[in-house]
Structure formats: C-alpha cells, structure tokens
Amino acid sequence: MIDNSSRASSALTSLGITAMLVGLLFAASTSPIVGQTAEVSEARVQLPDRNQPSPNAPNDEAPKDAPHRSGVAQGEVPTSRRLHFPRIVNPSFLGEVNLAEKRKWPEGEAGLDKVDTKSAPDDDNDEKFHWKPALAQSSLFLGIKHGVRLFQKKTYRELDGPFFRDWGNSIKNLRGWNDGDSPFTNNFAHPLQGSVTGWIFINNSDRAKRQEFGKSREYWKSRFKALAWSTVWSTQFEFGPISEATIGNVGLRQKNGHSTAAWTDLVLTPVVGTAIVVEEDIVDKYILKNWIERKSNGVTTRVKVLRSLLTPTASFSNLLRGRYPWKRETR
C-alpha cells in the first residue's frame, strides 16, 4: 500500500517545483538584460524582408537596400528605424542602431569576437633564436671532439690526478702565441672547428639563416653574432669545465719548449672560422646558386655533391642537426 502521507508529500513537492519555475520565469521576464535581449530579438524578427518589394514601389524594381542583408548575416543589424527598449532597459547597454550606420553588437566591442592576431606575422616575435637545438648541436659537436681526443695517448695519460687543481694550473700556464702544435692544426683544423660552431648559430637563428652574402647590414650583423657564439664555444673548449684543460690537462705541461696553452687557439678558431663562414657564403651565392644551379634542372645529384664538397663546414653543421649536408634554407 502506498501511504497517503507520501502522496501528499509528493504533491507538495511538485507544487513547490512548479511555483519555483514560475517565479524564475517571472524574474527572467523582468530582468533588464533578458528583457532587452528579447526586445532586440523581437526587433530583428520584425525587420522587413528586403527581398520583398515595397508596396509603394513597382513590382519590377529591386529594393535599393538589398545589399545590406549581408550585414545581418554577419551580426551587424541595419534597420529602418531606431530600436526602442522598455523603460527598464538602459538603451546604452547594447546601443542604438541607425539606418545610416551599421554598428557591431557590444560582444564585438567587448572583445568576445576578436580577430585572431596570432595569424598575423610579427617581425619582432617571428625572429627567434632557438636555444635548445643550438645547445644540443653544440654539445654533440663537443662530444665528438672530445671522443676523438680520448683515443690519443697524450689525453688519456693525463686523466689521473686532482681535477680542480690540475684544471687551475692548466689555465695559469696560458701564455704566448705558439702552443707547440703543427701549423695544420692551428691554422686549418681549429678554424674549421670555429666555422662549424658559427654555422650552428646561423642554422638556429630565424633571421641569420635567411641572409645571403652582400653589403646588407643584416647579413654582417648576423655573421658577427656567429663570431661571438664561436668565441664563447672556443673558449669553453679550451678552458671550460668540459675542455682540453680538464680532459687531458692541456696547458699543464710544455711541448717543444712552449706552453700547450697559448692564445693562438682562442683567437684563430673563432676569427678565421667566421672568415670561412663568409667564404662559404660567397661560394654558395656566386658559384653554386648563380652558376651551377642555374645550369642544372633542379637540385640534381651533381648539385647535391657540389654543395656538400664546396661548403664543407656548412654541410657538417647540417648533419649535426639531422639534415642532409646539401640542405639550404633559402632554396
């Protein structure tokens, strides 16, 4: 059996919910915003169909304001009269719409339908230097260099001993220009190393990698930045925490009567290395692009081989970033 008290309770609950809904509907109908929105909707519904000819106009004459229908579809409401709102509504809330002027609704003015500005290019924000890949490629190159050195007897025999004391003594012995190495090592191998590090900077700079050799300020500015990057890298390779001074204690002992820590590597590596970068830019523009590639039908195998051989440090830097050695950013 169903208890009569339960039925009465259910009936009261239903009546209470009904009364609450009626109260909410009444409150909503008297709300300024809802009332105003309803009035706007009513006004928009009452807009005359502009495809229908005016009663006072001939049937074969097209309405003069027919093109304005596109404004309605875009949320811009041209009307033949001003919209009148109830006294409880503040007309300035949505604004008044005039026939002579099409105005956007306040949602647009409040920024709710803003145009996406991210798609528009911004020269200042678009030009970036990508630190993470640049540091990763520099670290990979550093690991390759030290990996080769660890197979040399002069390096692994110096791995024993106090780390910090030997490191400090190696730096203290920096003097002179001749470090006892061969001319090939000082004047060729080390500058090639500096050129590779310069290309690492260029490849990771959105602005620098698009520059072509010439007299432009942007080109030379980007190459001087590459010189600065190569100088920092070269100094770290010679005397930094992961350097010849710590791995092999270069500078701790003498070689051929000269200190193995000299200024030659600190100067020639970045300076001559950057000169090699500029030289490869010249070769790339005048020999490869303007001569060989113009005579070739696209990027042929011959073009790929010549790019790789005639610009060797640019090719090696491409390998460090996982690209083909003949990769070019501008073509």
3-state secondary structure labels for all residues of 166-210: HHHHHHHCCCCCCCCCCHHHHHHHHHHHHHHHHHHHHHCECCHHH
Q: Are residues 264 and 310 in the same domain?
A: yes
Could you give the CA distance from residue 199 to residue 310 in angstroms, rounded to a whole number?
Answer: 15
Q: Indicate yes or no: pTM above 0.85.
A: no
Mean pLDDT value of segment 147-160? 90
Identify the pLDDT of residue 233: 95
pLDDT digits 0-9 by tens, 37-91: 434 344 444 445 555 555 554 554 444 444 444 444 445 444 444 444 444 444 4
Could you give the CA distance from residue 313 to residue 276 in angstroms, rounded to a whole number?
Answer: 8
Identify the pLDDT of residue 99: 41
Judge contact between 313 and 281, C-beta under 8 A.
no
Q: Are residues 289 and 157 in the same domain?
A: yes
Q: Which domain range does residue 64 map to?
A: 31-111
Judge contact between 169 and 287, C-beta under 8 A.
no
Identify the pLDDT of residue 257: 81
Q: Are residues 310 and 257 in the same domain?
A: yes
Q: Are residues 212 and 90 in the same domain?
A: no
Q: Is residue 261 scored above 50 in pLDDT?
A: yes
Per the prediction, the chain carries an average pLDDT of 76
Q: Are residues 152 and 250 in the same domain?
A: yes
Identify the pLDDT of residue 127: 75
Q: Are residues 74 and 198 in the same domain?
A: no
Q: Are residues 99 and 165 in the same domain?
A: no
Judge contact between 204 and 222, C-beta under 8 A.
no
Q: Are residues 139 and 103 in the same domain?
A: no
List Cα–Cα distances, 171 to 164, 175, 260, 271, in angstroms. Answer: 11, 9, 10, 21
List Cα–Cα distances, 294 to 6, 72, 290, 300, in angstroms. Answer: 95, 55, 6, 11
Type of residue numbered 316: F
Q: Are residues 307 and 175 in the same domain?
A: yes
Q: pLDDT higher for 68 or 273?
A: 273
Is 327 domain-assigned? no
Q: Are residues 173 and 311 in the same domain?
A: yes
Mean pLDDT value of segment 129-142? 96
Q: Are residues 106 and 135 in the same domain?
A: no
Q: Is residue 8 scored above 60 in pLDDT?
A: no
Mean pLDDT value of segment 3-18? 48
255 confidence band (pLDDT: 50, 70, 90):
confident
Domain count, the chain: 2
Cα-to-chain-centroid distance, residue 320 = 21
